[in-house]
Amino acid sequence: MTELEPLRNTFIQEIIDADREAGRHGGRVHTRFPPEPNGYLHIGHARAICVDFGLAMLNGGLCNLRFDDTNPSKEGTEYVEAIKEDVRWLGFDWGDREYYASDYFEYLYQCAIKLIKKGKAYVCDLSPEEIREYRGTLTEPGRESPYRNRSVEENLDLFQRMRAGEFPDGSRTLRAKIDMASPNLNMRDPVIYRIQRVRHHRTGDEWCIYPMYDFAHPLSDAIEGITHSLCSLEFEDHRPLYEWFLRELEIEDPPQQIEFARLEITHVVTSKRVLRRLVEEGHVSGWDDPRMPTLAGLRRRGYTPKSIRTFVARAGVSKTNATIDIALLEHCVREDLNATAPRVMAVLNPLRVVITNYPEDLVEEFPVENNPEDPAAGHRMVPFSRVIYIERDDFMEDPPKNYFRLAPGREVRLKGAYYIKCEEVVKDPETGEIVELRCTYDPESRGGTTPDGRKVRGTLHWVSAAHAVEAEVRLYDHLFKTADPLEGGDIIANLNPDSLRVLTGCLLEPSVRQAKVGDRFQFLRHGYFCVDRDSTPERLVFNRTVSLKDTWAKLQKA
RNA sequence: UGGGGGAUGGGGUAACGGUAGCCCGAUUGGCUCUGGACCAAUUAGUGAAGGUUCGAAUCCUUCUCCCCCAGCCA
């Protein structure tokens, strides 16, 4: 995965280098990717995955997959399966190191007991509202809980009875005894265990008390021998707490938490809450709608894992909150697909062309290269006959001077076949719509060049009417029309009404007939497309992954 | 007006006291049987003000702006 190489150029790598030089952690590098199984992974997670796994890989270390499943009310097995599939798809392997915070519940419980015995934790009877009141504010210190100075014995007894299920949900908590006057709110006696009678997806009804993230995370890292615990910026404030637990529990060779910025992209939203809303309100067809920034959506859209890794590496990793232009992501898929996707001719909006001087029943086959970027890809034979279809946009009755395509009296090249000249435009007498072009071909131009070497500026793609395969093509655009989906405060108002255009009756060259779900192609002069899972042999369905850069479109706009 | 972070061309990201570089984008030109790709060039930057120094994006001082934190979420 050489595309991950730029990750060496990050402040995290510098820390790793310094650690190794100092001989810390015995020179080991061991990271973890710790998703909470409460939703689908999205492009934002891709950075975390690439950084966690990538940095381990780049440093000859290991990365664990650990499900942070300490809140059963939101989590479920369906998510763990989806997450595993997505991480694997992105190209990473955690070997047999698939862990769950819930595997450590007993150990965590014992750690809590230890804290109580040290006088560093206590059972608190305050209600959630009271805890909030006692916590103070950003500018005022908190007040100590009246239960703060219970004896070790009483705390031990109460905590054991919490576990035994003697108290109702929410009635008591176990809290770390730190400092209610700390300017860091996280240090104001944070709750480390709550009572919650919710069935856990792995431990079932074994527990009715569950540890909080701040408590479970450092200890899970410690158990797994993690050296560098990488997380996002909002946890910077939690680092003192992370370290407090490790210190109080006398963990040897403790892991260190290092924070970096989340990945934000223009025209994209990565909030789980918002993504869920889009799905639930039907603005998209599901979590894997090709417009969704989920890994499942990107996969269905046709993005390659490699292009996403490249994107993450090129975007870089820092502590600056930054929004990367979606153009970089699109550039990365184009770059990958340009090198690998077989070319195919597809007429999305067909215009019938009759070549009047071409024999009525003749069918010729022309070789067309599968990928000019890759000679090894070879070529295929494409059938040609008297009636063909070209793109409606490739003809203009009254063209501007910089239009190189077909127009009355003009000559163009049909890719790999012949030069044709437009002789007549046939219109529907009622509507005036152009229904057919009547052209002549130059037999001398067979294969795409003429002996006289005359230049033709335009080369069009085409399909033979008699051999064409019909397909549905779904054209996707950014889900949000504004670079910042939150602009103006109303996400829904910023939805791009043209984010999906479904084209039916598209005509493709016959070589695509065998295409299987997930196969990727470049439709010549259009963009990159892949076969959608809705596709059947009778009814092919393609998704546009990304368009080709279109300088003509740009010229038109100007 | 508590605490924790952050500011380098249009968007990202390097440079760790010594030529501000790279990627994306944009623009221009070249090439082309994809108006793609490719090639070349251009564009444009150290948040502000002081200070230290032969020399400052980098060190010091002050200021400005932005992000995060008051879940029994992670």
Query: What pLDDT does residue A100 have?
Result: 98
Residues A22, A88: one domain? yes
A328 touches strand B (CB under 7 A): yes
d(CA A471, CA A137): 61
Residues A7, A62: one domain? yes
Catalytic residues of A: 36, 262, 272
Nucleotide nearest to A413 (CA to C1'): B33
d(CA A158, CA A310): 53
Residues A189, A210: one domain? yes
A428 touches strand B (CB under 7 A): no
Domain end (from A466, A497, A512): A466
CA nearest A275: which of A248, A263, A257, A293?
A: A293
Tally the domains of chain A: 3
Which residue range forms the structural domain that includes residue A133? 2-265
Which secondary structure element, helix H or strand E, spans residue A82, and what is its range?
helix A77-90
Residues A415, A546: one domain? no
Residues A542, A476: one domain? yes
Residues A304, A173: one domain? no
Per the CB < 8 A criterion, the answer to whether A321 and A293 are in contact is no
A351: which residues sit within 8 A by CB, 6+ positions away?
Answer: A389, A390, A391, A392, A394, A395, A434, A436, A437
Residues A210, A359: one domain? no
A272 touches strand B (CB under 7 A): no
B33 C1' – A341 CA distance, angstroms? 19
A138 touches strand B (CB under 7 A): yes
Residues A241, A276: one domain? no
B62 C1' – A177 CA distance, angstroms? 39
Nucleotide nearest to A548 (CA to C1'): B36
B61 C1' – A472 CA distance, angstroms? 66
Query: What pLDDT does residue A557 have?
Result: 82
Nucleotide nearest to A460 (CA to C1'): B34
Residues A117, A104: one domain? yes
Q: Coil, strand or helix: which one is A451?
A: coil
Which bases of chain B come closer than 7 Å to a protein CB?
1-8, 10-14, 16, 23-27, 33-38, 66-74
Q: Which amino acid is at A44?
A: G
Which residue is the nearest neighbor of B72, CA to C1'? A194
Nucleotide nearest to A315 (CA to C1'): B12
A448 touches strand B (CB under 7 A): yes
B28 C1' – A326 CA distance, angstroms? 25
The one-digit pLDDT tens for each residue of chain A (558 residues) are 999 999 999 999 999 999 999 999 999 999 999 999 999 999 999 999 999 999 999 999 999 999 999 999 999 999 999 999 999 999 999 999 999 999 999 999 999 999 999 999 999 999 999 999 999 999 999 999 999 999 999 999 999 999 999 999 999 999 999 999 999 999 999 999 999 999 999 999 999 999 999 999 999 999 999 999 999 999 999 999 999 999 999 999 999 999 999 999 999 999 999 999 999 999 999 999 999 999 999 999 999 999 999 999 999 999 999 999 999 999 999 999 999 999 999 999 999 999 999 999 999 999 999 999 999 999 999 999 999 999 999 999 999 989 999 999 999 999 999 999 999 999 999 999 999 999 999 999 999 999 998 999 999 999 999 999 999 999 999 999 999 999 998 999 999 999 999 999 999 999 999 999 999 999 999 999 999 999 999 999 999 999 999 999 998 887
Q: Which of the 358-417 residues on chain A come under 7 Å of nucleic strand B at their beta carbon?
A: 371-373, 402-405, 413, 415-416
DSSP for A115-154, written as a single string: HHHTT-EEEE---HHHHHHHH--SSS-----TTTT--HHH
d(CA A256, CA A31): 10
Domain containing residue A189: CATH number:
3.40.50.620
Domain end (from A439, A466, A493): A466
A199 touches strand B (CB under 7 A): no
ipTM for the whole complex: 0.97
Residues A337, A354: one domain? no
Q: Which of the 76-105 residues on chain A come under 7 Å of nucleic strand B at their beta carbon?
A: none
Residues A376, A502: one domain? no
d(CA A145, CA A158): 16
Q: Which of the 471-510 residues on chain A come under 7 Å of nucleic strand B at their beta carbon?
A: none
CA nearest A48: which of A92, A97, A96?
A: A92
Residues A92, A155: one domain? yes
d(CA A314, CA A299): 20
Which residue is the nearest neighbor of B25, CA to C1'? A327
Q: Residue A285, Cα to own-chain centre: how many angstroms?
A: 16
A514 touches strand B (CB under 7 A): no
Radius of gyration, alpha carbons of chain A: 31
Domain end (from A221, A243, A265): A265
Alpha-carbon distances of A406 from A131, A400, A469, A507, A523, rounded to whole Å: 75, 11, 24, 19, 19
A36 touches strand B (CB under 7 A): yes
Per the CB < 8 A criterion, the answer to whether A310 and A300 are in contact is no
A181 touches strand B (CB under 7 A): no
Nucleotide nearest to A214 (CA to C1'): B74
Domain containing residue A441: CATH number:
2.40.240.10
